Homo-oligomer: A and B are copies of this chain.
């Protein structure tokens, strides 16, 4: 059946929250706190300035800014104009950013005070790009565009059309050439609803702490939950374990999204300051890749309510979540798909049964419809509505997902599939190991062999030979790393995800 439906329009989410609960705190930073009414007013005023730059419905607008109020207000101002947000990863090189701006055909570049210099460099290379400088004026607590008048007649949208594109987010680049993932309002809505149905929704008391980069979907999607749920969020510019632990203890944070390395640092800081988390913290959403088992066990023993999730840009952040009720029983699993999401495991074009590994495929209204102007990549990735994530995993007999690895990190050695995450998990289970990364190394005989990179805990004296002996007792021979290199730091992207293909550079 190929029926079609008319588009679904909703009232602007921020406006509706401002109408419903004008005096409720919407957003806090260490410096400023805004009610929903104030927040909404900021978005409207900034939209009137953006309109003066020529930004209108369908305009593609790049944003180069750190986590903070200018970024947040800009997101909502663009929604009011129906313009498309293209958040730039601030860690990219100038050349990478220039490539991306041209690839996406951005008509404007907005930046904040932290990236003013880079914005100037960009504009020298792309002089036709309209430019705007976002600033937060501390005295008036206003976010505005420097030296740009307001257009009071700017046509602002009262409604959100779910089918419309909200953002184009370039995949983090752990694999191949960056592609622009189309993020619609529909995806954001269904992701938020699916998450609330799973985690519960406590309209009066929930407060979500945001310390993930806003230029990644894990951060941006929290901005949408902020206004769809009508709950308070706390935004931090950077990850700082001490400040975050303090906010959890003192400010009623109920939910926080983190990756494993962040959570490790938070727990270490907690120990150092001899503190515990209060019961108000009801959910620590742990995403960004397979989590080390010792970390999960540590959390379980402390009653830290860790909820493992699996998601990617293409699924608008979390798609699979382990319910708190299952956290202990299914330690290490990413859980079950959120209600709007369907999941199956495919191998060689066939759906495989329980316990059989294969590519994780997802379908549902929170999954992207494709990549911007990449019909070939879209067709290769999405078939009959099913997105092939490229990640490898299996379902257990109860339908719980276990993520094995990123497909593109797969090591094939003498015809055997080797999943780096499995070897990493083995190494991480050693008490002296703080971080571990595994990749393939070309080998004349086997094609590839695994090699490992390990950061030890401070003060550890263990040798790589001892670690190898430890691993040899726990891993099949073909999975045993050819070498274990002790290093100070592993390469990670800005959201903390391990960049395995950059590991060889450490040699």
Contact = CB atoms under 8 A, between A and B. Distances in A.
Contact of A197 (B204, B228, B364, B385): B228
A358 B161 CA distance: 28
Contact of A228 (B186, B200, B339): B339
A11 B16 CA distance: 30
Contact of A4 (B6, B199, B336): B6
Given A7-B4, A11-B339, A203 B198 contact: yes
Interface in A180-239: 186, 193, 196-204, 228-230
A126 interface: no
A466 interface: no
A462 interface: no
Interface in A155-199: 159, 161-163, 186, 193, 196-199
A342 B202 contact: no
A3 B10 contact: no
A229 to B, nearest CB: 7
B196 A19 contact: no
A398 to B, nearest CB: 8
B336 A19 contact: yes
A161 B365 CA distance: 12
Given A193-B193, A228-B339, A339-B11, A325 B5 contact: no
Given A10-B364, A197-B196, A201-B197, A399 B1 contact: no
Given A163-B3, A204-B325, A340 B10 contact: yes
A162 B190 CA distance: 13
A184 to B, nearest CB: 9
Given A161-B1, A364-B10, A200 B193 contact: no
Contacts of A20: 323, 336
Contacts of A196: 196-197, 201
A465 interface: no
A408 interface: no
A8 interface: yes
B204 A202 contact: no
A365 to B, nearest CB: 5
A20 to B, nearest CB: 6
Contacts of A339: 10-11, 13, 16, 228
Contacts of A161: 1, 3
Nearest to A199: B203
B202 A197 contact: no
Nearest to A203: B200
B201 A201 contact: yes
Counted per complex, copies of this chain come to 2
Q: What is the size category of the interface that chain A forms with chain B?
A: 35 or more
A133 B375 CA distance: 54
A423 to B, nearest CB: 32
A76 to B, nearest CB: 16
Interface in A313-338: 323, 325, 336
A258 to B, nearest CB: 22
Interface in A79-123: none
B200 A202 contact: yes
Nearest to A190: B8
Given A201-B196, A399-B19, A3 B11 contact: no
Contacts of A16: 339
Contacts of A4: 4-7
A7 B11 contact: no
Interface in A347-364: 364
A88 B424 CA distance: 62
A73 to B, nearest CB: 21
Interface in A1-47: 1-11, 13, 16, 19-20
9 nearest CB pairs, A to B: A4-B4, A201-B201, A8-B365, A200-B203, A5-B163, A193-B193, A3-B7, A200-B202, A200-B201
23 contacts: A1-B7, A2-B7, A3-B163, A4-B4, A4-B5, A4-B7, A5-B5, A5-B8, A8-B365, A9-B385, A10-B365, A11-B339, A16-B339, A193-B193, A196-B201, A197-B201, A197-B228, A198-B203, A199-B203, A200-B200, A200-B201, A200-B204, A204-B325
Interface of A: 1-11, 13, 16, 19-20, 159, 161-163, 186, 193, 196-204, 228-230, 323, 325, 336, 339-340, 342, 364-365, 385, 399
Given A3-B163, A4-B4, A197-B230, 19 more contacts: A2-B6, A4-B6, A5-B5, A5-B8, A5-B162, A8-B365, A9-B385, A10-B365, A13-B339, A20-B336, A193-B193, A196-B197, A196-B201, A197-B229, A200-B200, A200-B201, A201-B201, A203-B323, A204-B325
